[in-house]
Amino acid sequence: MGIEDTNRREMLIGMGAGLVALKTGTASAQADPARKLGYAIVGLGSYATRQIMPQFANCKHSRLVALVSGTPEKLARYGAEYGIPARNRYSYASFDTIRDNPEIDIVYVVLPNSLHAEYVVRAAQAGKHVMCEKPMATSVAEARTMIGACRKAKRLLMIGYRSRFEPYNRLAIELARSGHVGPTRIITAEHGFDAKPGQWRLDRPLSGGGSLMDIGIYSLNAARYLAGEEPVQVSAIESTDRTDPRFRTVEDRIDFMLRFPSGVIANCVSSYSSNHNGYRVIGTKGYIDMEPATPYEGQRMMIRKDGQTTPRVLASTGPNQFVGQLDHLSECVKTGRTPIVPGEEGLADMRVIEAIYRAAREGRTVTLDAA
Amino acid sequence: MGIEDTNRREMLIGMGAGLVALKTGTASAQADPARKLGYAIVGLGSYATRQIMPQFANCKHSRLVALVSGTPEKLARYGAEYGIPARNRYSYASFDTIRDNPEIDIVYVVLPNSLHAEYVVRAAQAGKHVMCEKPMATSVAEARTMIGACRKAKRLLMIGYRSRFEPYNRLAIELARSGHVGPTRIITAEHGFDAKPGQWRLDRPLSGGGSLMDIGIYSLNAARYLAGEEPVQVSAIESTDRTDPRFRTVEDRIDFMLRFPSGVIANCVSSYSSNHNGYRVIGTKGYIDMEPATPYEGQRMMIRKDGQTTPRVLASTGPNQFVGQLDHLSECVKTGRTPIVPGEEGLADMRVIEAIYRAAREGRTVTLDAA
């Protein structure tokens, strides 16, 4: 089974029950399949400017056409760097006038978490398709509002789960689900970094939460995409030193376990005070190790099978995860397909995130209905 | 700080509040410090015959002098192999007459778990010091009875936690507790193997439980010895396919999380349907990996620090873990010291094991009093 097959299968899995295929292609997009769709980037922080914006140069179906920022100096600096004309530079006050700009097909929201919902809804109401960074929102309720707004506007919504476009993660999904090391029994995943003080991510009104929202979500999302099903039991333990000035309003460590309908258990780590990034899919015949698993680059896969541990190296990896992600949404807009990581995928994570926080807070195993 | 220093510190840590230094040396043991103390092995299963008995040849302070088994053929075979005279071969019926045998200083109980309590108590009542395999017992109540019986008889009780005598595990403890990779934030530990049908370990009346009692206890014990403190919160999720004939009476997978008073969280895996053996101590500056961590031999340590991952290889490892364990109890008997893994250490694990089962069964985080 090739990655393309996996892709199609994942896409089907990704399509939630309530999701209908939308006729979403704009007239201009459908008229010329070779046309690169125009992205507006909302929020010019370091992730947008250092990771995403440089990647448009490598895209086949996407180009950077507009910038949105509250800081005029940033608009001037990045506008000049990327050749964005003044008419395509927006403030948050003028943001809604993007509806009058046919060059913009897709709005990519890269704002602090608590602003995602507002800008996704406004983008959809302006008639644009939307890419939204993870975590999709700060609550299930917000996520539902965002999905509803995009559906009402007949516009696509995709969440920035870049690992789903990263070749080694795609291979891991394929190997895990095809039973390469036997049926999966246990998944372990750990993600953490040493949070630097003074960032919006440590300010609950902006972030909506601590390490879980920001980095632990990679452990959660990986557990879900590697298992290929939705958890039905969630247990969690939090550990935060509230005397650490970084953790006045958000949690540091919150580890959690998920039980899936097939019986797979995932043991997951989330930390704002230690550096690690990896997961392991343990089957009856061995395991698949990815470490690091979800960085911007440098993934490494090792496979333990038949008593031997060997590296697995892809001969050709194709476009990187950032390019893959940007072009995937453009292609979906052109073809009317549903993204493999639609709003429903972000909602699924938010649903478990709320359960993790509740499990930790109430000291009990939270049961979720089968999704 | 050398391993010897660690040893002394661990010994102090290992000495519970209620534990008093006992004058335990037998007259003969104290009379001649060069004398090798005599062990009787109770239960001639594969662990006893393949792993433990061959190691006496390498011991400085211990020798094999007696065998106890319900199978006359085993007594004959191993008696001949190890030169054990007929007078030192016992059945379970004649076991209590060991009290009249001055060659036997120590009884090593290697029976199925549910028989540990009975034979430890009978050994103590026969005036012998006792080594007991892990898990110490099938309940906290049994463990307390065993400790009480040995204390009353003024005999030492040690649990067969061989990893505490394994050089890489001792180094890991030293590195973790001395902050080699910064203060510990998170510990992960995973232990499992694919249980073969038809063994006593799968029969609850003999084993007292499933993977947790047998192999998951290595994850638990490692979390405790690496953290150097006792957990105060326990959460757990079990996953067992009851249609698998192996798991009619015992659990397959039971994963658990522990929260320690310092804030360290341990994420632990226990499995009877997947093969893995490792732990990781994650500090603020990196992590210490041990994989495999607790096999009979072949431990491998990797250290991640300052952005680099490097193997750590001991130039000289001294006696192996089996020899170290056997001779440690002999030396303790000679000197009146308390073993670094006394009955109280086994009780501490049993206490958490009961909490893990309760947490899984009741779907709640169980709080333990600070030990």
Quick: pLDDT tens for A260-310: 999 999 999 999 999 999 999 999 999 999 999 999 999 999 999 988 999
Neighbours of A290 (CB within 10 A): 25
Q: Specify the pLDDT at position A360.
A: 98
Please tell me the distance from the alpha carbon of residue B202 to that of residue B214, in angstroms, as a whole number.
10
The CA distances from residue A60 to A34, A55, A319, in Å, are: 9, 11, 10
* Tokens linked to A278: 């990896």
CB within 8 Å: B192 and A282: yes
The CA distances from residue B24 to B19, B154, B230, B332, in Å, are: 13, 6, 28, 8
Strand, coil or helix: what is B75? helix
- The answer, yes or no, to whether residue A166 has pLDDT greater than 90, is yes
pLDDT digits (tens, 9 = 90+) for A199-221: 999 999 999 999 999 999 999 99
Contact between residue B250 and residue B238 where contact means Cβ atoms under 8 Å apart:
no
CA closest to A258 among chain B residues = B237
Q: Which residues contact B328 (CB under 8 A, 6 or more apart)?
A: B158, B165, B339, B340
- The answer, yes or no, to whether residue A30 has pLDDT greater than 90, is no
| Catalytic option among A134, A272, A334, A357 | A134
Q: Specify the pLDDT at position B10.
A: 39
- Sheet of A286-290, strands arranged across: A308-312, A301-305, A286-290, A276-283, A184-192, A265-271, A253-259, A233-239, A366-367
Q: Which residues contact A34 (CB under 8 A, 6 or more apart)?
A: none
Please compute the mean of the pLDDT values over residues B179-192 and round it to a whole number: 98
Please tell me the distance from the alpha carbon of residue B338 to that of residue B359, in angstroms, as a whole number.
33
Q: How confident is the model at residue B32 (pLDDT cuts 50, 70, 90)?
A: confident
User: Cis peptide leading into B72, omega within 30 of 0?
Assistant: no
CB within 8 Å: B274 and A186: yes
Chain A residues within an 8 Å CB radius of B181: none
Chain A residues within an 8 Å CB radius of B367: 363
Q: Specify the pLDDT at position B317.
A: 82
Q: How confident is the model at residue A32 (pLDDT cuts 50, 70, 90)?
A: confident
Q: Specify the pLDDT at position B30.
A: 53
Chain B residues within an 8 Å CB radius of A283: 274
Q: Which of B127, B130, B61, B63 is nearest to B98 (CA)?
A: B127
Strand, coil or helix: what is B278? strand
Q: Does A46 touch chain B (CB under 8 A)?
A: no
- Sheet of B253-259, strands arranged across: B308-312, B301-305, B286-290, B276-283, B184-192, B265-271, B253-259, B233-239, B366-367
Minimal Cα–Cα distance from B273 to chain A, Å? 6
Select the residue of B186, B273, B363 nearest A365 (Cβ to Cβ): B363
Contact between residue A183 and residue A283 where contact means Cβ atoms under 8 Å apart:
yes
B286 forms bridges with which residues in the sheet?
B283, B305
DSSP state of B241: -
pLDDT digits (tens, 9 = 90+) for B308-335: 999 999 998 889 999 999 999 999 999 9
Mean confidence (pLDDT) of chain B: 92
| Best A180, A181, A184, A185 residue to mutate vs chain B (most B CBs within 10 Å) | A185
- The answer, yes or no, to whether residue A85 has pLDDT greater than 60, is yes
Q: Specify the pLDDT at position A24.
A: 44
Please tell me the distance from the alpha carbon of residue A100 to that of residue A88, in angstroms, as a whole number.
11
Contact between residue B366 and residue B355 where contact means Cβ atoms under 8 Å apart:
yes
| Amino acid occupying residue B335 | T
* Tokens linked to B96: 């209590």
A237 forms bridges with which residues in the sheet?
A255
Residues in A 330-369 with any Cβ partner in B closer than 8 A: 363-365, 367
Please tell me the distance from the alpha carbon of residue B282 to that of residue B306, in angstroms, as a whole number.
13
The CA distances from residue B261 to A238, A272, B107, B157, in Å, are: 12, 19, 36, 28
Query: How many interface pairs between A and B have CB atoms less than 8 angstroms apart?
Result: 126
Please tell me the distance from the alpha carbon of residue A362 to that of residue A53, in angstroms, as a whole number.
42
Chain A residues within an 8 Å CB radius of B223: none
Is residue A300 exposed (0-12), middle (13-18) or buried (19+ Cβ within 10 Å)? middle
pLDDT digits (tens, 9 = 90+) for A99-122: 999 999 999 999 999 999 999 999
Q: Does B239 touch chain A (CB under 8 A)?
A: yes
| Amino acid occupying residue B370 | A
Q: How confident is the model at residue A33 (pLDDT cuts 50, 70, 90)?
A: confident
Q: Specify the pLDDT at position A371.
A: 59
Q: Does B192 touch chain A (CB under 8 A)?
A: yes
* Tokens linked to B58: 């390498």
Q: Specify the pLDDT at position B31.
A: 59
Please compute the mean of the pLDDT values over residues B257-273 and round it to a whole number: 98
Strand, coil or helix: what is A282? strand
What domains can be seen in chain B, in order of their start residue?
15-162+322-342 (3.40.50.720), 164-317+351-367 (3.30.360.10)
- The answer, yes or no, to whether residue A5 has pLDDT greater than 90, is no
Strand, coil or helix: what is A103? coil
CB within 8 Å: A264 and B239: yes
- Sheet of B157-159, strands arranged across: B89-90, B62-68, B37-42, B106-109, B129-132, B157-159
pLDDT digits (tens, 9 = 90+) for A226-272: 999 999 999 999 999 999 999 999 999 999 999 999 999 999 999 99
Minimal Cα–Cα distance from A273 to chain B, Å? 6
- The answer, yes or no, to whether residue B23 has pLDDT greater than 60, is no
Q: Could you tell me how far CA B72 lies from the centroid of its own chain?
A: 28
Minimal Cα–Cα distance from B349 to chain A, Å? 20
Q: Does A253 touch chain B (CB under 8 A)?
A: yes
| Amino acid occupying residue B371 | A
Is residue B32 exposed (0-12), middle (13-18) or buried (19+ Cβ within 10 Å)? exposed
Q: Which of B195, B175, B368 is nearest to B287 (CA)?
A: B175
pLDDT digits (tens, 9 = 90+) for A58-82: 999 999 999 999 999 999 999 999 9
pLDDT digits (tens, 9 = 90+) for A312-356: 999 988 899 999 999 999 999 999 999 999 999 999 999 999 999
Contact between residue A205 and residue A114 where contact means Cβ atoms under 8 Å apart:
yes
Please compute the mean of the pLDDT values over residues B337-357 and round it to a whole number: 98
Minimal Cα–Cα distance from B214 to chain A, Å? 18
- The answer, yes or no, to whether residue A132 has pLDDT greater than 90, is yes
Phi-psi category of residue B101: left, alpha or beta, with phi > 0 → left and psi -120 to 50 → alpha = beta
* Tokens linked to B156: 């030492």
| Best A180, A186, A262, A302 residue to mutate vs chain B (most B CBs within 10 Å) | A186
Please tell me the distance from the alpha carbon of residue B258 to that of residue B6, in angstroms, as a whole number.
24
Please tell me the distance from the alpha carbon of residue B194 to that of residue B211, in angstroms, as a whole number.
10
Minimal Cα–Cα distance from A99 to chain B, Å? 47
